[in-house]
Chains A and B, each alone.
Chain A
């Protein structure tokens, strides 16, 4: 990792100094500084990531090893038995399916409605658009907890409690403003002339949206999808409040069941379940790493 690259980068310089005059003092100081920086960064990263490595190691330990062993030690044996126990006690597969349904439902709403609102606000324009923007800004600052009691009462009144929609609606609603702002800040950069030319050719607002704005939005769509997927996949508070039956539980709720279901917590199996539950998102994150990092840093600085 970083510690191993640092000495390697300084090695050729040392050998070349034998041929050329010795480097000025400042260079050597810079090298020391750089190595030190690498070491510090490596240490911070180890502290940051070690809990996750430990989580995985525990999930392949035997139960006795976990009970007696040193938490910093390597597992004495490798076993997948925890995983089979995790699948047989819980409803992991169903939980993952539910999470997929909720996440894709909310994401579709966020992307489609976000583009539509941004198109109306930024491209079409209308009197009072400033006011509407202000309304959407509220959703970014206000904490989600304010909606829990009213939505619970409203859902009970229209029989929506304990449905997929009951989680999808608030998740999409609270993520919509950020999506609208990301799309509108991108639409600002589409040149006016493009639209004017299309209008002269007789294209109406719907055709312009379908044939110009939408195809140009693809990159922003990727950003919006990825940033929101993380938060929606991991949502706990809405699911915990509005979903009661086991058949609809998403991954976070399913995991929570591992404590109650077994009385005495079966930690190695629980950690195996945790590992399974984080795998889909982790894989997506590692594969789409570059795009996601880009999305997260630009999403934050634009918000």
Chain B
């Protein structure tokens, strides 16, 4: 603590940031909690319904459960692409002699591009008529039978809207994991190799435990970001066809701004927050416990 500080000086530095944060983040969270107990369309009088919204959400709303399962699917695909892809490319990169900077730059490029641009791009990539990049590539490698309209096929649409999100940020996580891998002491690796450890053993027994703290942080960031994923599914399919690519976030958005059901939309929003908190708790529990074992 600074010796000459006064209480006033603390307030002068602390109050402005706290004020912005309260208006933009804290107050809206409380308001959402409050609204989630009401039925309100923004025009007529608010009607207190107690836990009614929550009861309907969990027991009566089939769209909600579809959206929830879709969100889990979206999460799994994003995590595989982002974390799996990041770990793979980062460890390959540590074995390269040259061109590491170039690979890092190119791999990160998609992270700089807006979701609207990405949505346009993938709309063309998935296109069937005329054949987009994906369908054309399938034809070229002799898998023409697999061609489909990826965004209007109920069985493929969820994967189709998840992949762009995974693709977009994999470079970012790769950078973080790569930096962590570089920090693993060389002596450990060499000692393991001298003892005859295979590449795979060196990786799982030496390197991975070393980067575990960073891995936990990265998993948390990737998970919370995937759970709040909204832009790409909203822009590409708006949840359709039917509810095949509806996520909790797109469902909440439509409930709020298309059906103007502010109360119920807030209930869904509160659920998304709880879901994020539970996910973070689970990750900490699972990954930390493994570290102790």
Contacts and interface: CB of A to CB of B under 8 A. Distances in A.
A138 B25 contact: yes
Contacts, number: 292
Interface string A255-271: 11010000000010011
Given A142-B29, A296-B172, A300-B173, A149 B262 contact: yes
Nearest to A252: B116
A147 B111 CA distance: 24
Interface string B1-26: 11111110110011011101101111
A37 B133 contact: no
Contacts of B108: 285, 293, 296
Interface residues of A, number: 103
B140 interface: yes
B29 A52 contact: no
Nearest to B104: A293
Contacts of A278: 112-114, 117
Contacts of B112: 230, 278, 281-282, 285
B141 to A, nearest CB: 12
B176 A297 contact: yes
Contact of B24 (A145, A147, A241): A147
A41 B93 contact: yes
B276 interface: yes
Nearest to A9: B97
A252 B115 CA distance: 8
B2 A124 contact: yes
Given A34-B95, A142-B29, A208-B2, 7 more contacts: A45-B107, A125-B5, A147-B32, A233-B114, A252-B117, A278-B114, A296-B172
11 contacts: A9-B97, A40-B92, A44-B88, A49-B107, A124-B1, A126-B7, A135-B26, A146-B270, A149-B32, A209-B13, A297-B176
Interface of B: 1-7, 9-10, 13-14, 16-18, 20-21, 23-29, 31-32, 35, 42, 88-89, 92-93, 95-99, 101-117, 120-122, 124-125, 130-133, 136-137, 140, 167, 170-173, 175-176, 178-180, 214, 217-218, 221, 224, 227-228, 230-231, 235, 249, 252-253, 256-257, 262, 265-266, 269-270, 272-273, 276-277, 280
What are the 6 closest A-B residue pairs judged by CB atoms, nearest first? A173-B24, A143-B228, A150-B31, A150-B28, A113-B17, A234-B114
